[in-house]
Amino acid sequence: MGSVAKRVALCMLVLALLMPLVSAQLTSTVLPVKDRIFKDEVAEFRLTLTNPTPATQEVRLRFEGDIEWRYQTSPLHHGLTGIRVPAFSSVQTTIQVSLRQQELPPRQYRLGVTAVSDKGFTIQDELVLYLKSIGSGQYAPAVSVGVDFPPQVDTRKPAQLRIFLRNRNPLDITDLTISTLSSLTSKQVTTSLGPMEEKVVVQDLDFNPVLPPQDDLLIVRLLVGEEQVGKAEVSYASLPYSEVQETVSVAQRFLRSTITVQLFNDGNIPTLHVVQRPTSLWKVPFTASIPDATLADGNLQWELALAPQGRAVIETHEDFRPGFYSLLILIVAAALYFTFRAPLVLRKEASVVGSEGAMSEVKVVLHLQNRSGKQLSDVTVSDSVPDIIEVSNEFGLGTLKPERMTKHDKRGTIIRWKIEHLEPLEERIITYRVKAKLSIIGQVTLPAYVAKYHAKSRERVVVSNKVGLTLSR
């Protein structure tokens, strides 16, 4: 018995917990937004549907008197396909009511609206509105409005907005405020509108040109006092643009210059701007820039990223002074060299021309050349031969014979020639032969010979090269 009593108590507890869910159903609330209207106006009501159940409900609305009255919901699909109300949630929709037949008299009207749920719930409500009479010739302001505006605008220049107005009542509106507003522009003007008058108002809208390109919504509102009597919206887009302005200035000094290029991105988008400046290969070593440049097709080139309304500076420095001073030093050095160099050029050659037994016979050739443009006088040529080598007393035809040959304890045999005059650019060749006194195998070096001459009342000395010989059997 005790077990049965517990089961009965448990069942009653479960039923008690389920009773609120079973008894719960869809609820609705209607609040008037605008319930007093003239015949050409639209009434508005806000309908709130609440779903206290754990299941989503699909609700459709049914309206009575749709022959005399026109119904529309906002959002529009609430009236066409129904309203989806999630579990334990509320959904709002706006019901707009306007008159189809103008013959209805001014009075109070109760219009039924029924909410039918797919779960079997049905709720009935009333939309109570008052149709006002036009007494003493007074009309409510009612203005139809339309707009014409370009779908794309360049914010650097004004764009034309055309506003089409139509007064729907025989009411003289003396102060009609037209308020135009968007993210990029705003304007407000006041005009008048006579009874049943149609008018076109043209406005030139100015924009903030530095704002980035974007999609925007232009809203036009008509106000009489504080009451809005008309509204229109139009979508448009602001165009991207970028125009880089370059300003070049040049500062010049002796053999150097500074070229400054100032850049300004007069635009609303970032841009990559390329600057080129002609140059030549010989100028490149003398050119430096900030920032660094690259060389492309004979031009110095920079690629700079500029932000909207951004600025950048390029400085190019050309300094030819190092090259000029280097060239000047070379010219001075060359001038000094040609001025102070010895006018007499000496060269000594030797070659083995034969042998007699174990001894070799060597021919020695002395070259003298006056490379200056002046005559050289009293030229004395001295050459020395080691003791182990004997100078031949035979001198060929056409060669200058020595003035004298003397023996020296350390230098061996000294041979001297005397040349009275050596004309400009004249070259003399002196030859003689020598023989080794002993059989010599290996390397033998003949000493340099010396030439002395007089220039500017001073004696000058020039030394030739040494000559190395390889002797063998």
- Condensed to tens digits (0 to 9), the pLDDT of residues 222-248 reads 998 888 888 999 999 999 999 999 999
- Asked if CATH classification 1.10.3720.10 holds for the domain at 143-238, the reply, yes or no, is no
Q: Please state which of the ranges 132-141, 180-189, 416-425, 437-446 shows the lowest mean pLDDT.
A: 132-141
| pLDDT for residue 19 | 44
405 vs 11: which has the higher pLDDT? 405
pLDDT per position as a tens digit, 389-443: 888 877 766 678 888 888 888 888 899 999 988 899 999 999 998 887 766 667 7
Token pair 């917990």: residue? 17
| pLDDT for residue 473 | 59
pLDDT per position as a tens digit, 285-307: 888 899 998 888 888 999 999 99
| pLDDT for residue 151 | 94
The secondary structure of 253-309 as a DSSP string is ETTEEEEEEEEEE-SSS-EEEEEEEE--TTTGGGEEEES--EEETTEEEEEEEE-TT
Contacts of 78 (CB under 8 A, 6+ apart): 61, 93
pLDDT band at 360 (very low <50, low <70, confident <90, very high): confident
Q: Please state which of the ranges 72-76, 166-170, 181-185, 463-467 shows the lowest mean pLDDT.
A: 166-170
Phi first, then psi: what are they for 283, rounded to 5°?
A: -85, -25
Give yes or no for residue 105 having a pLDDT over 90.
no
| pLDDT for residue 438 | 67
Assign domain 244-321 to its CATH architecture: Sandwich (2.60)
Domain boundaries, the chain: 19-131, 143-238, 244-321, 343-471
pLDDT per position as a tens digit, 254-267: 989 999 999 999 99
The CATH number assigned to the domain with range 343-471 reads: 2.60.40.1530
214 within 8 A of 234, measured Cβ to Cβ: no
Give the mean model confidence (pLDDT) for residues 57-84: 89
| pLDDT for residue 328 | 93
Give yes or no for residue 21 having a pLDDT over 70.
no
Compute the distance between CA of residue 228 and CA of residue 225 in angstroms, rounded to an integer.
Answer: 8
| pLDDT for residue 152 | 95
Strand partners, 222: 178, 230
441 vs 72: which has the higher pLDDT? 72
Name the fold adopted by 19-131.
Immunoglobulin-like (2.60.40)
End-to-end distance of the chain based on CA atoms, in angstroms?
Answer: 151
Residue 85 in tokens: 């109300």
Q: Please state which of the ranges 3-17, 32-46, 235-249, 415-429 shows the lowest mean pLDDT.
A: 3-17
Q: What is the pTM of this model?
A: 0.48
Give yes or no for residue 353 having a pLDDT over 90.
no
| pLDDT for residue 357 | 61
3-state SS, residue 7: helix
The reply to whether 343-471 shares the fold of 19-131 is yes
| pLDDT for residue 5 | 59
Beta-strand pair 198-205/244-253: unpaired
pLDDT band at 207 (very low <50, low <70, confident <90, very high): very high
Give yes or no for residue 137 having a pLDDT over 50.
no
3-state SS, residue 23: helix
| pLDDT for residue 369 | 92
pLDDT band at 20 (very low <50, low <70, confident <90, very high): very low
Give the chain's mean pLDDT. Answer: 86
Compute the distance between CA of residue 245 and CA of residue 264 in angstroms, rounded to an integer.
Answer: 5
The secondary structure of 54-95 as a DSSP string is SS-EEEEEEES-TTTEEEEEESTHHHHT-EEE-TTEEEEEEE
